[in-house]
Structure 1
Amino acid sequence: MTTDPRGPGDLWGQLVRFVVVGLFSAVVDLTVYTLALHLGLWVHAARALSFVCGTSTAYALNRRWAFRVAGGRNRVLGFTLLYSTTFFVILGVNALALAVLPDRSWTITLAWAISQGFGTAVNFVMLRTVVFRS
């Protein structure tokens, strides 16, 4: 008996692939964020730019590998709506973290990590149950 890779029986497989994609996308995101800050971009603009780069990477890899689904206008629209919402959420979480964390050399990176972690948790649930559901 073969389990449908998009069915509930593959939750752990999807989760593992999602984490791998997420880690890679997070490296893209953090690299762009750090480079943009180094080049003098305003912190919130740098976070927005890095989010777009990381998200584009995540969409391509999650669709093809983590959730193994074909494209389609509805999936792209659902993904765009989800990540547009997440975009504002992570910017808010990042701004809140910057406001409450002490002003240290590691503050910007920790704020990024907190906002990234929060967004990632929301995204997995929504991608699996709404965007890439079978």
Structure 2
Amino acid sequence: MSDEVAGSARTGRAGRSGGHRLRGGFEFAVFRARLFGTLATIVRWVCTVAAALLAVHVLLTVAGANPANALVRFVADWAETLAFGFRDLFVKPRAPKLQVLLNHGSAAVCWLLVSAVAGRLLRLFGGRAG
């Protein structure tokens, strides 16, 4: 048996592992997969937190929370920042609570969609889907 065949028989792999192996056993494909996997996780968390802040703002508004409260103001300020073009997506309905529900709720759904698509694309670029 040649050394290459014997080596692949021991490791269970035929030939190279598919990645570019550099000195010291560093595999670029593994590094790339981990890097893009980490980026995908970060993007998903950021988008999920943005959607959660928008959802909390909708919940506080619909529930009639005191707008002078510091926590309610904090959430409302962030929600206004994160709503982007959704702030006035729907023409002002008669009820202001319905307006917040429609506009900020749409923005929250959009953040979740961006999270799913961006996470999947980053993992795909990293070499593994899922």
> Which TM bucket (shorter chain)?
0.3 to 0.5
**Higher helix proportion, which one?**
1
Give the structure-1-normalised TM-score: 0.35
Give the structure-2-normalised TM-score: 0.36
With a CA cutoff of 8 Å and minimum separation of 6, indicate the structure with the bigger relative contact order.
Answer: 2
Higher CA-based Rg = 2
